[in-house]
């Protein structure tokens, strides 16, 4: 009997070791709108960079709307917000050649560096069950 108990001990220790506390930060889904001079930003990317550091969360902007839901959303805490315009590719490219896709793609709308490379935009993400709505009205 004691030999069987010794054989089960390593398996039990392995199971206990795998159930440790997660190092992943608490997160919250964030949604909202992005406008540039009052018009919806047609396409782009929004990034949330934890201050002073941590895992970055990002989402696509399409027709002025975005949502950050990947991995549970944006980490809780103070964030630097970076917004960049991106080319707008057609939503459905089924049956299109690369040339047709390229011709149908709209160029990126330039967003001033004060909202991207040198962004001073900040957001404080607080814990909560409902998605947090953050709207950004950018000016040239």
Tell the residue number behind the tokens 């970076």, with chain if given. 82
pLDDT value of residue 15:
46
| pLDDT tens for each residue of 90-140 | 778 888 899 888 888 887 788 999 999 899 999 999 998 899 999 999 999
| Mean pLDDT for the stretch of residues 29-49 | 96
* Domain architecture of the chain: domains with CATH: 25-138 (2.60.40)
| pLDDT tens for each residue of 77-88 | 999 999 999 888
Give the separation between CA 39 and CA 19, rounded to whole angstroms.
Answer: 49
- CA-nearest of 8, 19, 29, 51 to 128 is 29
Residue 7 pLDDT greater than 60, yes or no: no
- CA distances to 2, 43, 84, 91 from 106, rounded to whole Å, are 72, 9, 15, 12
Tell the residue number behind the tokens 């950050």, with chain if given. 68
């Amino acid at each position: 009997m004691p030999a069987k108990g010794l054989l089960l001990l390593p398996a039990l220790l392995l199971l206990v070791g795998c159930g440790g506390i997660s190092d992943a930060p608490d997160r919250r889904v964030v949604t909202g709108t992005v406008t540039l001079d009052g018009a919806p930003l047609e396409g782009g990317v929004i990034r949330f960079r934890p201050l002073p550091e941590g895992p970055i969360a990002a989402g696509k902007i399409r027709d002025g709307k975005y949502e950050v839901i990947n991995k549970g959303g944006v980490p809780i805490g103070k964030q630097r917000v970076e917004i960049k315009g991106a080319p707008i590719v057609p939503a459905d490219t089924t049956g299109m050649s690369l040339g047709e896709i390229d011709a149908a793609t709209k160029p990126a709308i330039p967003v001033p560096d004060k909202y991207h490379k040198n962004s001073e935009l900040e957001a404080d993400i607080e814990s909560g069950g409902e998605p947090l709505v953050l709207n950004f009205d950018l000016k040239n």
